[in-house]
Structure 1
Amino acid sequence: MGPRQRRPTRLFNVFSRFPFWLYNAALTAGAPLWLSYYGARALRRRTSCRSLRERLACGLPCPPPPLIWLHCVSVGETLAGQPLAEALRERLPAARFAISTTTDAGQARAREQLAWMDARFHFPLDLPWVADRAVASLKPALVIILETEIWPNFLRACARRGVPVVLVNGRLSDRSFARYRRLGRGMGDLLRRFTLCLMQSAEDAERIRQLGAPAERVLMTGNLKYAPPNAAERARRDRIAADLQRQFGLGDGRPCIVAGSTVEGEEAILAEAFAWLRARPGLSRCRLLLAPRHPERFAAVARELQRRSRLVARRSQPGPDDERADVILLDTIGELVAAYRWADVAFIGGSLVPRGGHNILEPAAEGLPVVTGHHMENFRAILNRFRAADAIWQLAPGMPDELPAALATALETLLTDPARASGLGSRAKATWAAETGAVAATVAALESRILPSIPALGAIRGD
């Protein structure tokens, strides 16, 4: 049984080494900018009016206690948090659950995938009075934050009310680690406001200790993104995959490359590599399905592809020539994982330019050969496991003008050498399957270290 939680003293809140006064002054100075941004969105889109109210902690839903509040940034974190939330619901059947997200895309996915939850809303802005109002309104018994979302005023609001906050699936990229280290002891003061830090890897655990998190509150429980999908999610993917097949004629023998989560600067490289591929013997019928990371870039990417390719089809705009398209633009949210079903090779975006890469686990779980660029710093622990198993093709560092040829060579090799592609895909799937125990490890840590110290939750455990 873990130590019983005690209400932090006000001295801790007043004399923190973290410069709250400076942080809040900067937020206040930037108020005209973020108010203009959210106000303009509210005028353009009806749903953004609700979003703005939620971000200001106005009219938040208030389920009866005891409430577990799960916070996820966007789509990826929401998907990672889903199996954890469902495991906790099974363990705590009388508890209430709420989920907040930072992005609209994450909120849309939460409303679709986690409709059973008692409340779904946008995460409040990290202004002192907003954070205080949010915590006071919802009165959570426990807050669970995914993937190192550190909001100082929100953490302080929870500490003032004695609400335990647990960091789950935590990770620290090279960039984040370097940035947080500049805060010195102030960062340690913030991290001590987490009751427990459950990190993805031993390296992440060591880094958060170096930043000042108490060593006894840090555990390594693995990566929740390795968790296999449940039956409902598998059925959803099946429906989307079938619809994609009907619209675009996928799976008809034409080689297909799925490029997922691409960012600015990568579509031009992919288009050049793709044009080179289609000129190679046996690959003239090759197709490219491309999914940009950010929805606000869909229109710009469509124009870029149409300028370079003979026939481009858009998922959001069905047309009579979709089955003939050379390039397919997946300009929708939440369908990429289903699209991997039709890939012969997967490419992971955010890795050809210095953006830190994106998640390789979804195509790996499908048994696909996966290609990435050199920039995978944000997923180093995962990448290292796959590289150790010879389960991924990562391009070597090179000059920007060398990238199209290097990418085309990797894709051509895997498209024309079935044995090599199959071996790489099989090893990728085996590596993914060997790491799927993170949900059980996370729940076990919460049960042993957190739940016994929260009377409202301990009393309703489904033992």
Structure 2
Amino acid sequence: MDIIYNIGIKATQLALKCTALFNQKINLGVKGRANTFHNLKKNIKTTDQTLWFHCASLGEYEQGLPVFKKLREYYITHKIILSFFSPSGYEIRKNSPIADIVVYLPIDTKTNAQRFLNIVNPELTVFVKYDIWPNFLNELKTRQLRAILISAAFRKNQIYFQLYGKPLRKALFAFEHIFTQNEGSKTLLESINYTRVTVSGDTRFDRVFSQLEMDNTLNFIDEFKDNKTCIVSGSTWPEDENLFIDFINSPASKNVKFIIAPHTVKANQIQSLQEKLNTEVVLFSNKDKKNLKHAQVFILDTIGLLTKVYKYADIAYVGGAMGNTGLHNTLEPAVFGVPIIIGNHYEKFPEAKALIENGGMFSISNQIEFNHILSILIENQENRQQLGLKNLTYIKNNKGAVVQILDYLLKL
């Protein structure tokens, strides 16, 4: 099976290079990986002490960030190497202040793993959630280098728990400790005789709660909102935006402000959205030329502001669950104590299930349901404040994973 895995990795490497000719995102990854070893050699001396943090993409980076920050404070003389597999993580966080060096993770071949660790030689490695690479992890274990996995979430149908999943299952045992999000994940690990596990919860709760300690003020959003009821729609796809187009173009939207943050900010898609709205619209990119108070809709044709913008929401909508792209982060608006609406495809998102059960989140499957729920929330300020408080309470009750992880690491 190890041979099959390594053949598969080689085939994947070739397929990525071929696909890169036609796909800009994949091309970024292929080119970035080609520079990884040069960047490492250039910036790491043999005398340097190092830590290695690895994330699949941007979401895992945000998940691991509270732990990364604390380790940065503790290991002040160490160089920190941060690696990503996906361009959507690397390209956005390649200048992350918590790392000294940010690189693409090389493809998981034995040669790459050996070469990478010969240069980096980390005193501690932290993987986040699920990006399990057998050759890298087995090489860490062979060299007796410390590695942990945090915010892990496993499902019964994953390859680690199947008869044919030996290579990946073996890789899990390279971690000296695994911190899981839930009891179910711990039970699955114990079913394969992995016992060095702690249910610490999801570090994302710590991450989003820390947002309340930051300055989230955006003066231009203050001006736009103008003390009116404001609905923030975050990380939307066309199927999400269609719901808002219908509602905004109806009489029900009178005296309500809307902020839409599309997942994709390509100019042609932003223009298409703007043209479908029968009201005054302002874009982030031309906000300085507009009277913001007169506009009813503000479109964020930029990235990086959504977490702050949620502060201004009276009601939030989170995209991704009306289609099959995957529900985006619902904890970011929840921490600001607002009720949330999502689509009906949220089966793989336990936090969404919990927020719905707690009563602060609503799932809709069509325009009629969307209009109904949104109208009720708009009309009753006291009710929506009570519902939003349920979401904030859920965040408060589930934070604390970072403390458990650091207690383990720093007591050894």
Structure 2: 5+ residue stretches without partners: none
Q: Does 1:386 align with 2:355?
A: yes
The correspondence for 1:224, drawn from 203, 209, 213, is: 203
> What corresponds to 1:197 in structure 2?
178
Distance 1:257 1:72, change over 3 A: same
Displacement after TM superposition at 1:27 (Å):
3.2
Tell me the percent identity: 22
SS of the residue 1:265 aligns to: helix
User: For 1:142-291, what aligned pairs fall within 5 Å after superposition?
Assistant: 142-172=124-154, 177-178=157-158, 180-182=160-162, 183-210=164-191, 212=192, 214-227=193-206, 234-235=213-214, 237-238=216-217, 241-245=218-222, 249-263=223-237, 265-275=239-249, 278-280=250-252, 283-291=253-261
CA distance in 1, matches of 2:25, 2:387: 49
Task: Pick which of 359-368 and 27-36 moved more.
Answer: 27-36
The CA distance in 1 between the partners of 2:400 and 2:382, in whole Å, is 30
Query: Partners of 1:285 and 1:254 in 2: how far apart?
Result: 7
Q: What are the superposed Cα offsets for residues 25-53 of structure 1, whole Å, 9 maximum, x if unpaired?
A: 233334444224557788999x8797243
- Secondary structure at the residue paired with 1:124? coil
TM-score computed with the length of structure 2 as normaliser: 0.86
Tell me, yes or no, if the aligned pair for 1:357 and 1:376 is still in contact at 8 Å: yes
Displacement of 1:413 in angstroms is 1.0
Secondary structure at the aligned position of 1:352 is classed as: coil
| 8 Å contact kept, 1:355–1:375 | no
Q: Deviations over 1:3-36 (max 9, x none)?
A: xxxxxxxxxxxxxxxx232233233334444224
Higher relative contact order (CA 8 A, sep 6+): 1
Q: 1:136 to 1:263 in 2, by over 3 A?
A: farther
3-state DSSP of counterpart to 1:227:
helix
| Matched residue, 2:320 | 350
Alignment of 1:53 onto 2:34? yes
Structure 1 pair 316/138, CA: closer, same or farther in 2 (3 Å)?
farther
Distance 2:100 2:168 in 1: 33
Q: 1:43 to 1:302 in 2, by over 3 A?
A: closer
One-letter code aligned to 1:133 = R
Q: Check whether the contact 2:209–2:335 (CA below 8 A) recurs between aligned residues.
A: no
1:325, 1:181 → 2: CA distance?
54
Among residues 414, 428, 452, which one is paired with 2:391 in the alignment?
A: 428
**Alpha carbons 2:161, 2:169 under 8 Å: kept:** no
Q: In the alignment, does 2:288 pair up with 1:309?
A: no
Q: Which residue of 2 aligns with 1:14?
A: none
Corresponding residue SS for 1:222:
coil
Partner of 1:340 in structure 2?
310
- Return closer, same or farther for 1:373/1:229 CA change in 2, 3 Å cut-off: closer
In the TM superposition, what is the alpha-carbon distance from 1:84 to its structure 2 partner?
A: 0.9
| Alignment of 1:67 onto 2:39 | no
Count of residue pairs the alignment pairs up: 406
Aligned equivalent of 1:455: none
1:92 aligned onto 2:75? yes
1:346, distance to aligned residue in structure 2 (A): 0.6
What is the letter of the counterpart of residue 417 of structure 1? N
Cα offset for 1:74?
Answer: 2.8
Q: Call closer, same or farther: CA 1:244–1:34 in 2, change over 3 Å.
A: farther
Structure 2 contact 64–128 (Cα < 8 Å) conserved: yes
For residues 170-209 of structure 1, what are the alpha-carbon distances to aligned partners after superposition, in whole Å with 9 as ceiling and x for unaligned?
11367xx445545444442232222221111112322344
Report the counterpart of residue 456 of structure 1 in structure 2.
none
The alignment yields a C-alpha RMSD, in angstroms, of 3.2
User: Which structure 1 segments of 5+ residues have no match?
Assistant: 1-18, 453-463
Q: Is the 8 A contact 2:160 2:166 kept in 1?
A: no
Change (3 A) 1:221 1:254: same
Larger displacement relative to structure 2 (428-437 or 57-66): 57-66
